[in-house]
């Protein structure tokens, strides 16, 4: 590819050129037939935007708050493993980009830079993503270390009782991680930390209700970027069921397949408070380090701003359910 990327999708090609094939496959791939991987992106294309006219859009305000932290736009950095495979500066570069873009980074439990390195490298608001080891005392040490180093929330990823791909990493994780963790263990987690707990990997209204009942601070609708269970529905297709189930009791966040500002607009219209972005951030990092991550976030912000202006939504709270129609709604 020649020239500057024009949109986030083009970073995927740049990353492919920059990375050894094995690393690129690790980042880009999904589970098994990769049906859900494709669907996560495709399902957005079946949702249409219904814009309003003659609204004063001379100023667009994309800012929002997440757990009380003000950010410049409803776009967070999703937790993804091993950023040093993409770039020698790893998660430190990603965190600096998050700070420059005034957004939140969720640091992966499987990061290649330490919790301390990332904390001391930037002013970004950081959350810490957690998997729970069989040896609970290790989880407790990690949680407390994150808390001490200024991480503002825990994101407990719950869609990974096993990893799926037969690699050494998967074998190690399957041995170390606690596949027996269940709803009652949220109480245990609450007992070892003062941080708010978000639960990542909710795909049904049923589980969303349970999550709200056990008192989490937020829910993340996610199918792990289609890397875990293939043939789950695209996350954008299940978002609304989750939003309806929680009835505003806790904020609902969203990830999976977000590649355009229009995707973010659609997720917000269907009830997400903000979206998280996984692969595009890694592709930006692989292509151009910190600058590439900044470019990726900035492109998404620019596209969201344009979408809001053209849809008659001067602020994120103006984006409503009536601004989108799903395929089913259009056919009836």
- Residues interacting with ligand FNR, by CB under 6 A? 26-27, 40, 78-81, 108-110, 129, 157, 200, 222, 224-225, 227, 255-258, 277-279
d(CA 116, CA 77): 18
- Separation between Cα atoms, residue 22 and residue 172, nearest integer Å: 19
The DSSP symbol for 242 reads H
Bridging pattern class, strands 324-325 and 48-49: antiparallel
To the nearest whole angstrom, how small is the minimum distance from the Cβ of residue 177 to ligand FNR? 11
Do 132 and 177 contact (CB within 8 A), yes or no?
A: yes
- Nearest approach, Cβ of 311 to ligand FNR (angstroms)? 23
Q: Contact at 8 Å (CB) between 107 and 79? A: yes
Q: Cβ closer to ligand FNR: 107 or 119? A: 107
Q: How far is the CB of 254 from ligand FNR (least distance, A)?
A: 9
SS3 328: helix
Nearer Cβ to ligand FNR (19/313): 19
Q: Name residues whose C-beta falls within 8 Å of residue 175's C-beta, 6 or more positions apart in sequence.
A: none
Identify the helix (H) or strand (E) that includes residue 322.
Answer: none
Q: Residue 272 or residue 277: which is nearer to ligand FNR going by CB? A: 277
Question: From the CB of 54, what's the least distance to ligand FNR, in Å?
Answer: 35
| 255/303 with CB nearer ligand FNR | 255
CA dist 306 → 4, 204, 264, 301 (Å)? 20, 32, 12, 9
Strand partners, 197: 154
Residue 99 or 277: the one with the smaller Cβ distance to ligand FNR is: 277
Name which of 87 and 224 has its Cβ closer to ligand FNR. 224
CB of 56 to ligand FNR, least distance (A): 33
Give the whole-angstrom CA distance, residue 203 versus residue 206: 9
Task: Show which residues are catalytic.
Answer: 224
Least Å distance, CB 106 to ligand FNR, is 7
Q: Can you give the three-state secondary structure of 98-162, one letter per residue?
A: HHHCCCEEEECCCCCCCHHHHHHHCCCEEEEEECCECCHHHHHHHHHHHHHCCCCCEEEECCCCC
Q: Count the Cβ atoms, other than its own, within 10 Å of residue 22.
A: 8
């Amino acid at each position: 590819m020649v020239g500057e990327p024009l949109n986030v999708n083009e970073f995927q090609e740049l990353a492919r050129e920059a990375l050894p094939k094995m690393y690129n496959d690790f980042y880009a791939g999904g589970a098994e037939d990769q049906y859900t991987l494709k669907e996560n992106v495709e399902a957005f294309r079946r949702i249409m935007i219904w814009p309003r006219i003659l609204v004063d859009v001379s100023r667009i305000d994309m800012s929002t708050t997440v757990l009380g932290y003000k950010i410049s736009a409803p776009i967070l950095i999703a937790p993804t493993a091993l950023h040093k495979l993409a770039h020698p500066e790893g998660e430190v570069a990603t965190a600096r980009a998050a700070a420059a873009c005034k957004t939140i980074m969720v640091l992966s439990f499987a990061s290649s830079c330490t919790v301390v390195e990332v904390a001391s490298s930037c002013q970004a608001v950081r959350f810490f993503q957690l998997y729970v080891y069989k040896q609970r005392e290790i989880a407790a040490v990690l949680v407390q270390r994150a808390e001490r180093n200024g991480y503002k929330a825990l994101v407990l990823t719950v869609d990974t009782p096993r990893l799926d791909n037969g690699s050494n990493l998967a074998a190690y994780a399957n041995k170390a991680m606690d596949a027996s963790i269940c709803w009652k263990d949220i109480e245990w987690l609450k007992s070892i930390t003062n941080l708010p707990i978000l639960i990542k990997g909710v795909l049904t209204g049923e589980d969303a209700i349970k999550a709200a009942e056990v008192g989490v601070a937020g829910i993340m609708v996610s199918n792990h970027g289609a890397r875990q269970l293939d043939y789950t529905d695209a996350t954008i297709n299940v978002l609304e069921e989750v939003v309806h189930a929680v009835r505003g009791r806790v904020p609902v966040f969203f990830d999976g397949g977000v590649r355009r500002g229009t995707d973010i607009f659609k997720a917000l219209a269907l009830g997400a408070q903000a979206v998280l972005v996984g692969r595009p951030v890694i592709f930006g990092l692989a292509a151009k380090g910190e600058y590439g991550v900044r470019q990726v976030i900035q492109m998404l912000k620019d596209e969201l701003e344009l979408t809001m202006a053209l849809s008659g939504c001067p602020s994120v709270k103006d984006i409503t359910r009536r601004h989108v129609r799903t395929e089913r709604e259009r056919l009836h």
